[in-house]
Chain A
Amino acid sequence: MTLQANAMGTPTRRLDGAPKVTGTAPYAYEQPVKNPVYVHAVQSGVARGTIRSIETVAAEAVDGVVAVLTHRNATRLADVGDDELAVLQSDSVAFRGQLIAAVLAETPEAARHAARLIQVTYDDEPADTELRADREDLHAPEGEDPPDDRSRDEFAAAFSSADVRVDQTYTTPMLHNNPMEPHTTVAVWDEESEVRLTMFDSTQGVHVVRSTLAPLFGLRPEQMRVVAPHVGGGFGSKGMPHAHNVLAGLAARAVPGRPVKYAVPRQQMYALTGHRSPTIQRIRLGAERDGRLAAISHDSVEHSSTVKEFAEECGKPTRSLYAGAHRLITQRLATLDVPVPSWMRAPGECPGAFALEVAMDELAEACGVDPIDLRIVNDPELDPKTGHPWSSRRLVECLQEGAERFGWAARDPEPGRRQTGGTLVGMGVAASTYPCFRSPGSVARIEVTDDGRYSVRIGAVDIGTGAWTALTQIAADALGCDMELVKLEIGDTDLPHATVAGGSSGLTSWGSAIVEAARILRHEHGASPRVGTTVEAETPDKPRGVAVHSFGAQFAEVHVDPDTGEIRVPRMLGVFAVGRVINAATARSQLIGGMTMGLSMALHEVGVMDHRTGHVVNHDLAEYHIVTNADVGDVEATWLDDVDPQANPMGSKGIGEIGIVGAPAAVANAVYNATGVRVRDLPITADLLLR
């Protein structure tokens, strides 16, 4: 049964608002610790090879240096089969920027200075870092069976006999999450205590950090504690521990009893904390003259690293977004000498939807139908991937309502014709979709406390999503009480187990556990349970036989200066179908934030890899551009009045990622509509429009 909404649905202000706007909410680095040691890391200067020598005497001689760690003296870690985490365990180098040494010192200045005095020589080998679709060593990701010959033949036949065909290739560059708070770990190793290793960590999941790292250090889970009360963004890059967490643990191990502080410098994040792989995507759409799809294919190529495989699965949105009898989706990877790719907001869906949704714009033009009508005629009754019914879809309504609000009727389907004051004006649309995941295994504990309140405990994390506030609202409604009576605790492995804040699954996974615990409390202990009464419940299983996804329609208006090619985006609008919105203020912020990041991807972001050195050369915020305030116009997000009872007990669906899915395509399609120049390679920059 879906929960009755009282607190839910209101735009309640963030409960952590005052500490955030005064800067007094403590992030990882800001946890009060006594007598800390500061860590500064050294990265490899070559992309592949072996360390021949590493000279640390000069560094060790610097005043204030406590220790220098290299592969020669660092603690041996257990082999857990994840080479990204095998930090300082051998002399081999697998990508440029790999951690190869660290200085521990009494001050950050001494650590940084000493790190520069470390001399390293390498036996380097030629490195291979360039992703190309014509490479001969491309391979399917582990565990994925390429489509069989029959489906290939069927697709080929349907595509070649289609009335209208689009066959184009789209690319997106290497992208970097760049949360504003750099990845930071403060770690203490205590031989005397039952809890050997304590980490204050900037992470999207305290329990995953513990379950991943404890075995590495030979600890049982209860011998390690991870705390993350406030986290300065993550966007996927803090969804699992990376090498820096291990280095902090090694450093703590080297100076037992003293806290070590390790904030990854912004420049080092580009190689160490995950990134989105560049993608090369060929889309083929075969349709009838009215736009009805008969054949859809999406072949994507991404890079992965020799250290660890990660696949950016671009084909995912294409499996479910549109109807069409014949579908062929393939993915191949090139395993290169590059940093380890990882999750970045809507991994797979985001770059995949860029390619698919620009291709749909091209198809609309080829068929001479409106891009919105094209999406409407191809709206599938059932989920094409699973054949299951939708819990609710409502993409068509999102498109129609968006068209109305945005003034889509003013768009001239003929590109390059609309002008205001000498500026070219264009409009674009794209669809968004993201699955509603529910991760199993979160546990919520509710206790009746002696002040007449309810203590709600779950090891969830608020990375800026508003989880502090939204979970409190859910708990209040689940318990049938005022929000003031709920005392929520999150962000600590001392609390019951919780899954990662990622994949737009947080509220569904954690909230369902809280609702279940509240249900048990009321069922077993009635309306006024005795002080001290405690119940626990786990996230219930996800529904079967039904496809649960969030959907949305994104609109963009762009202005292009015909002389300079300068692109401005005065307006973006997203209309979403995301089930019940738990908190209208924080939800809107997340959707707008995703759209803003999508705008950034469309026009600004590109990680530039120098293939001679394997180096991400623009590794800071001056050279890797993300949108600034002046780049962003009016970005508005709204949603259909919706409750999806099949999604979860709150009736809500995920909202963290869907804002970025489709936004880059909407901008790209608007640029085409303004200029008649079809840019298929992101980012879209002024020079591309002047050719």
Chain B
Amino acid sequence: MEVPITIRVDGAERSMTIDTRTTLLDAMRDRLSIMSPKKGCDHGQCGSCTVLLDGRRVVSCLALAVAHDGAEITTAAGLADGAELHPVQQAFVDRDGFQCGYCTPGQICSAVGMLEEAKAGHPSHVTDDLTGPIDLDDAELRERMSGNLCRCGAYVNIVAALREGTAS
């Protein structure tokens, strides 16, 4: 079955008729040629496909496109302002927070979403004080970024990048 949907990706409105089986990830990659979100597992297990969906981080391989008519999506490509990188992106470059770069757009969208969650006071598994503001120490950063696998093993540099990103 095919249905028409419209989504906004990185500020641009995109309309298409979509197979109801199509994931948001495949809608972007195969239908719209928006390749910034990556496919590492297609099963919600790696985080490579993470985008900001209406401001929250989601794995787009587990979202059906048909269920997101009207959604506002930001990919890592959309976080940059032309040649000007988002501070989190710049911190990844400065701290070499990646090697092959395949998990990286997902890591970065996840980090941007994560920083918002922390700012809003959402606790994590390692948060001791559930009432106060969140102190994003290394343990918090590691815990909150654990939905994004990196086989190149760039975790320590990712944490260093985010430490910098959160300090600023």
Q: Which residues of A contact B (CB under 8 A)?
A: 13-14, 16-27, 29-30, 32, 38, 107-109, 113, 178-182, 230-233, 235, 263, 265-266, 463-466, 585-586, 588-590, 592-597, 600, 620-622, 626-632, 634-636
A residues near B29, Cβ cutoff 8 Å:
29-30
- Using a CB-CB cutoff of 8 Å, which residues 45-71 of chain B contact chain A? 45-46, 48
Q: Is the CB of B30 within 8 A of A232?
A: no
Q: Is the CB of B39 within 8 A of A263?
A: yes
Expressed in whole angstroms, the Cα–Cα distance for A636 and B80 within the complex equals: 30
Q: Is the CB of A464 within 8 A of B39?
A: no
Task: Name the residue on B nearest A232 (C-beta).
Answer: B102
Of B115-123, B128-136, B155-163, the stretch lying at the interface with chain A is B155-163
1/0 contact trace for B59-96 toward A, CB 8 Å? 00000000000000001110110010100010011101
B residues near A629, Cβ cutoff 8 Å:
141-143, 145-146, 148, 150, 155, 158-159
Q: Is the CB of B156 within 8 A of A233?
A: no
Expressed in whole angstroms, the Cα–Cα distance for A671 and B80 within the complex equals: 44
Expressed in whole angstroms, the Cα–Cα distance for A479 and B78 within the complex equals: 38
B residues near A17, Cβ cutoff 8 Å:
92-93
A181-B100, A628-B146 known; A464 and B105 CB under 8 Å? no
A sample of 21 cross-chain residue pairs with beta-carbon separation below 8 angstroms, ordered by A number, consists of A13-B94, A16-B101, A20-B98, A22-B85, A23-B37, A23-B38, A23-B75, A23-B104, A29-B39, A32-B33, A107-B30, A180-B38, A181-B100, A230-B100, A266-B43, A464-B101, A464-B152, A590-B99, A629-B150, A630-B143, A630-B146
B residues near A266, Cβ cutoff 8 Å:
40-43, 45-46
Expressed in whole angstroms, the Cα–Cα distance for A596 and B153 within the complex equals: 5
Minimal beta-carbon separation of B77 from chain A (angstroms): 5
Task: Name the residue on B nearest A596 (C-beta).
Answer: B153
Expressed in whole angstroms, the Cα–Cα distance for A108 and B42 within the complex equals: 12
B149 adjacent to chain A (CB < 8 Å): yes
Minimal beta-carbon separation of A74 from chain B (angstroms): 25
Minimal beta-carbon separation of A517 from chain B (angstroms): 27
A13-B94, A23-B77 known; A182 and B39 CB under 8 Å? yes
Q: Is the CB of A622 within 8 A of B100?
A: no
Q: Is the CB of A21 within 8 A of B153?
A: no
Taking residues whose C-beta sits less than 8 angstroms from the other chain, chain B's interface range is: 35 or more
Q: Is the CB of B93 within 8 A of A634?
A: no
A residues near B149, Cβ cutoff 8 Å:
180, 621, 626, 628
Expressed in whole angstroms, the Cα–Cα distance for A621 and B148 within the complex equals: 11
Q: Is the CB of A635 within 8 A of B156?
A: yes
Task: Name the residue on A nearest B31 (C-beta).
Answer: A107
Q: How many A-B contacts if CB must be within 8 Å?
A: 190
Q: Is the CB of A231 within 8 A of B153?
A: no
B residues near A178, Cβ cutoff 8 Å:
151
Q: Is the CB of B43 within 8 A of A180?
A: no
Minimal beta-carbon separation of B69 from chain A (angstroms): 18
Q: Is the CB of A588 within 8 A of B33?
A: no
Expressed in whole angstroms, the Cα–Cα distance for A108 and B76 within the complex equals: 24
Minimal beta-carbon separation of A500 from chain B (angstroms): 16
B6 adjacent to chain A (CB < 8 Å): no
A residues near B76, Cβ cutoff 8 Å:
21-23
Expressed in whole angstroms, the Cα–Cα distance for A631 and B100 within the complex equals: 21
Q: Is the CB of A180 within 8 A of B48?
A: yes
Minimal beta-carbon separation of A150 from chain B (angstroms): 45
Q: Is the CB of B93 within 8 A of A622?
A: no
Q: A109-B21, A232-B100 are in contact. List 6 more A-B contacts (CB 8 A).
A: A23-B37, A108-B30, A179-B100, A180-B38, A464-B99, A620-B45
Q: Is the CB of A593 within 8 A of B102?
A: no
Q: Is the CB of A626 within 8 A of B151?
A: yes
Interface centre among A113, A593, A597 (most CB of B within 10 A): A593
Q: Is the CB of A597 within 8 A of B153?
A: yes
B5 adjacent to chain A (CB < 8 Å): no
B residues near A107, Cβ cutoff 8 Å:
19, 22, 30
1/0 contact trace for B2-20 toward A, CB 8 Å? 0000000000000000010
Task: Name the residue on B nearest A13 (C-beta).
Answer: B93
- The B interface, classified by DSSP as helix, strand, loop or mixed, is loop
Q: Is the CB of B96 within 8 A of A235?
A: no
Q: Is the CB of A13 within 8 A of B40?
A: no
Interface centre among A113, A230, A233, A466 (most CB of B within 10 A): A233
Expressed in whole angstroms, the Cα–Cα distance for A474 and B142 within the complex equals: 35
B residues near A632, Cβ cutoff 8 Å:
142, 153, 155-156
B24 adjacent to chain A (CB < 8 Å): no
A586-B96, A630-B142 known; A25 and B101 CB under 8 Å? yes
Q: Is the CB of B152 within 8 A of A593?
A: yes
Task: Name the residue on B nearest A230 (C-beta).
Answer: B101
Expressed in whole angstroms, the Cα–Cα distance for A29 and B118 within the complex equals: 35
Q: Is the CB of A233 within 8 A of B93?
A: no
Task: Name the residue on B nearest A202 (C-beta).
Answer: B102
Q: Name the 4 nearest CB pairs between A and B, nearest first.
A: A464-B100, A596-B153, A232-B102, A23-B36
Q: Is the CB of B37 within 8 A of A589?
A: no
Q: Is the CB of B22 within 8 A of A109?
A: yes
B residues near A628, Cβ cutoff 8 Å:
146-147, 149, 155
Expressed in whole angstroms, the Cα–Cα distance for A230 and B21 within the complex equals: 29
Q: Is the CB of B89 within 8 A of A14?
A: no
Q: Is the CB of B36 within 8 A of A22?
A: yes
Q: Is the CB of B22 within 8 A of A235?
A: no
Q: Is the CB of A592 within 8 A of B37?
A: no
Q: Is the CB of A465 within 8 A of B80?
A: no
A residues near B33, Cβ cutoff 8 Å:
32
B residues near A593, Cβ cutoff 8 Å:
99, 152-154
Q: Is the CB of B94 within 8 A of A233?
A: no
Minimal beta-carbon separation of A559 from chain B (angstroms): 13
Q: Is the CB of A179 within 8 A of B151?
A: yes
- Return the contact of A180 from the options B75, B85, B151 (Cβ within 8 A): B151
Expressed in whole angstroms, the Cα–Cα distance for A21 and B161 within the complex equals: 12
- Return the contact of B42 from the options A265, A627, A636 (Cβ within 8 A): A265
Q: Is the CB of B101 within 8 A of A465?
A: no
- Return the contact of A620 from the options B37, B41, B85, B102 (Cβ within 8 A): B41
A residues near B93, Cβ cutoff 8 Å:
13-14, 17-18, 21
Task: Name the residue on A nearest B99 (C-beta).
Answer: A464
Expressed in whole angstroms, the Cα–Cα distance for A19 and B104 within the complex equals: 10
Minimal beta-carbon separation of B140 from chain A (angstroms): 10
A residues near B80, Cβ cutoff 8 Å:
18, 21-22
B residues near A23, Cβ cutoff 8 Å:
35-38, 75-77, 104-105
Task: Name the residue on A nearest B147 (C-beta).
Answer: A628
Q: Is the CB of A232 within 8 A of B21?
A: no
Q: Is the CB of A589 within 8 A of B99?
A: yes
Q: Is the CB of B35 within 8 A of A26?
A: yes
Minimal beta-carbon separation of A467 from chain B (angstroms): 11
Q: Is the CB of B19 within 8 A of A621?
A: no
Expressed in whole angstroms, the Cα–Cα distance for A125 and B160 within the complex equals: 54
Expressed in whole angstroms, the Cα–Cα distance for A340 and B157 within the complex equals: 34
Interface centre among B43, B77, B99, B142 (most CB of A within 10 A): B99
Expressed in whole angstroms, the Cα–Cα distance for A501 and B72 within the complex equals: 40
B residues near A235, Cβ cutoff 8 Å:
151
Task: Name the residue on B nearest A266 (C-beta).
Answer: B41
Expressed in whole angstroms, the Cα–Cα distance for A25 and B35 within the complex equals: 9
Q: Is the CB of B42 within 8 A of A13?
A: no
Minimal beta-carbon separation of A574 from chain B (angstroms): 12
